[in-house]
Structure formats: C-alpha cells, structure tokens
Amino acid sequence: MRLATVIHDHTRKLAVVEDDSVALLDCGDVDLSGLVRAGLESVDAIRSGLKKLDRIPLADVKLVAPLTRFRRDILCTGWNYWDHFSEGFGRREGQDVDRPDRPTFFTKGPDTVIGPNDPIALDERISSQWDYEAELVVVIGKDGRNIPESEATTHIFGYMLANDVSVRDLQRAHGGQWLKGKSIDNTMPIGPWLTTADDFDASNVKFECTLNGQVVQSATTAQMAFSIPRLISELSEGMTLRSGDVLLTGTPTGVGNARTPQLFLKDGDQLIVRGEGLGELRNEVRAVDLTSYEVRI
Ligand code: MG
C-alpha cells in the first residue's frame, strides 16, 4: 500500500495512492508520522476500510513530504555501495580512509526535508559544491534495541526515496564530520509516498538519478555493501530505534564530486530520482538566499 501526505482543497490530509487515483483518509493528521508511530497494525486497519472510501484523481492533490515531524535527526548510511566508496578515492581532500568493515552512520537535520516536487535550495554564497545522492529510505515501524538481522525486517514500516543532496566542501570543513554538509535547509526531497513493507521487497530495487535528462546514477539495492537487515542490526546495537525513525541506506556510484570534471548542481537544474515501485522525486534546483537571518518555517 502506498501511503501519502497530500494537500487537497487547501488542507493537508493522509491518502492511499492507487495508480492515478487517491483515497483520502479522514483522520485529521498533518502527516504520516502518527500513523507510523502507531505501528504496522494501523496499515491493516486502513486496508480493511479502504473499499468504502471515495477515489479522486491523483492530479487533484499535491503530494508533499510523507513525514515532517521527526523525534530526532534523520539517520543516514555512508559508503554503502563499494563502487561509490571507490569512486571517491583521492577526492576527499585528504580525508580518505580504508574500506570499512562495518557500516558508516551519520545524521542530518530534519530542516533539510522537502516534498517530492519542491525546489532544492542552493546558495552559492555558502558553497559551489552541491551534489546529488539517490537513495532508498527505510522507515522504522516498531521500537527495538539489539535487533537481530533475522528480525530486522519486522521493524520496518515502509520505504521511500530521498535525494541526499550534499555540500561537499562543508562535509570536510568542520572536523571531517559530515553533519554540516548534509544539513543545509530545504535540500532533501523525500517521498513521493511511503510504500508499506508488507507488500514490497526491498532487496533488489532498481533506482536511478537523472540530471537534466541524463542518467547520472543507476543501481540496484542488491549492490549494497551492507544489507538493510545488517544496517538495522548494527545501528540498533545498544541504541534504541523507534517507530518513525528514518534511515537512509546510502548512494551508489555516479555522484558529481567523483566525476572528471566534477559536476556540481546549479540554479535551474532538473533532478529526478526514481525507484522501481517507489515512484519519483522531481525537483528543480533553485538559487535562494540561505544567508538571511530570518528563519523560514
Ligand atoms: Mg547519502
């Protein structure tokens, strides 16, 4: 089942997406966070009542970020495709490391999150090294700590896509910690909806990123260095994962930073991230003022 957060008739609603139509859910919530935290049982309840709901055309709603309320930073995986790890050798400004034998984890701030068709913010006064990263995203649906690999999939609520837009020089400018370069406001589209785990096999999903119509990344999740169960198992070792937590699973080869010549984003660029069975993120890169003191809600 594809669960979405939409705007219809100037109101935010939850919806189930079915091909070219949607069924609006009457639960008065502003995004899917509450539903996800309620756990996988809520999916069964929606499915059982779905037949009775009216459908409206998908074109009559605006898809927005499925989740906007987070109880902590977005959890992320680095270097989870070996071809991506290798392509970066010599391009990390002296911060190369040996190939890791355990997953690399980091976080990014929730103010990065935008909707599946929103503009990606870019401000060249901050940096000129803005890069794309197509990724599969796991949304946790059941609390757990020390989750064994064999149980990991039972903790997954669903899957979606993200473009983990990254500012490369900022990733390295602050003690070698990636947080800052990964946390610029309004840079990470997610969605376009949340595909529930009960009817989706994430082990071999083809996905790609195009930039101005050219395919720049193309891979399958079967190429991950560390499987999704391994990621959940290692991350939850001594650290509770809770329903509603969001985990990015890493990007494959083809990022702009590793190309010769390097390829960084600019105002007006058109990015599409698409995944088999997961839909598309279609975002224009847009120059904005991120240096103002004013906080945009
Ligand atoms: Mg990434």
CA of 82 to the centre of ligand 1 (A): 13
Tens-digit pLDDT profile for residues 17-58:
999 999 999 887 888 999 999 988 889 999 999 999 999 999
How far is ligand 1, taken at its centre, from the CA of residue 83, in Å? 14
Q: Can you tell me the mean pLDDT for 160-174?
A: 95
- Say how many Å lie between the CA of residue 163 and the centre of ligand 1: 8
Asked whether the predicted pLDDT for residue 297 surpasses 60, the reply is: no
pLDDT for 92 beyond 80? no
Q: 96 vs 11, which has greater pLDDT?
A: 11
Q: 1.10.3470, 2.115.10, 2.30.30, 1.20.81: which CATH number matches 2-64? A: 2.30.30
- What's the confidence (pLDDT) of residue 181? 96
Task: Please indicate whether the domains covering 2-64 and 74-287 agree at the CATH topology level.
Answer: no
Task: Report the separation in Å between the CA atom of 48 and the middle of ligand 1, taken as the mean of its atom positions.
Answer: 36
Domain 74-287 has CATH 3.20.20.70: no
Q: How far is the CA of 77 from the centre of ligand 1 (A)?
A: 6
Q: What is the model's pLDDT at position 39?
A: 86
Say how many Å lie between the CA of residue 32 and the centre of ligand 1: 23
Looking at residue 84, its pLDDT comes to: 79
* Distance between Cα 50 and ligand 1 center (Å): 35
106 CA to centre of ligand 1 in angstroms: 9
Residue 296 pLDDT class (50, 70, 90 cuts)? low
According to the model, what pLDDT value does residue 107 have?
97
Which H/E stretch holds residue 33? helix 33-38
pLDDT above 90: residue 95: no
What residues sit around ligand 1, an ion, with C-beta below 5 angstroms? 133, 164, 251
How far does residue 51's CA lie from ligand 1's centre (Å)? 38
Q: Residue 94: what pLDDT?
A: 72
User: Which whole number is the average pLDDT over 80-101?
Assistant: 80
Predicted local distance difference test score (pLDDT) of residue 91: 73
Which of the two residues, 64 and 40, has the higher pLDDT score?
Answer: 64
Ligand 1 center–CA 271 separation, angstroms: 15
Long-range contacts for 200-205 (Cβ within 8 Å, ≥24 apart)? 200/158, 200/159, 200/277, 202/136, 202/138, 202/156, 202/159, 202/228, 203/227, 203/228, 205/136, 205/159, 205/275, 205/276, 205/277, 205/278
| Distance of CA 63 from the midpoint of ligand 1 (Å) | 23
User: pLDDT tier at 87 (50, 70, 90 boundaries)?
Assistant: confident
Q: Report the separation in Å between the CA atom of 100 and the middle of ligand 1, taken as the mean of its atom positions.
A: 16
Decide: residue 11, CB within 10 A, 0-12 exposed, 13-18 middle, 19+ buried.
Answer: exposed
Residue 10's CB: how many other CB atoms inside 10 A?
Answer: 5
198: CA distance to ligand 1 center in Å? 25
Lowest mean pLDDT, pick from 35-49, 147-161, 179-193: 35-49
Cα 182 to averaged position of ligand 1 atoms, centre (Å): 8
DSSP string, 92-152: STT---PPPSS-EEEEE-GGGEE-TTSPEEE-TTT-S-EE--EEEEEEE-S-BSS--GGGG
Distance 31 CA to ligand 1 centre (A): 24
Please give the average per-residue pLDDT across 121-147, as a whole number: 97
* CA-angle at 252, arms to 193 and 31, nearest 5°: 20
CA torsion 132-135-141-146 (nearest 10°) is -100
Can you give the pLDDT at residue 271? 98
What are the tokens at 240?
A: 């509770």
Q: Could you state, in order of their start, the residue ranges of all structural domains in the chain?
A: 2-64, 74-287
User: Can you give the pTM of this predicted structure?
Assistant: 0.95
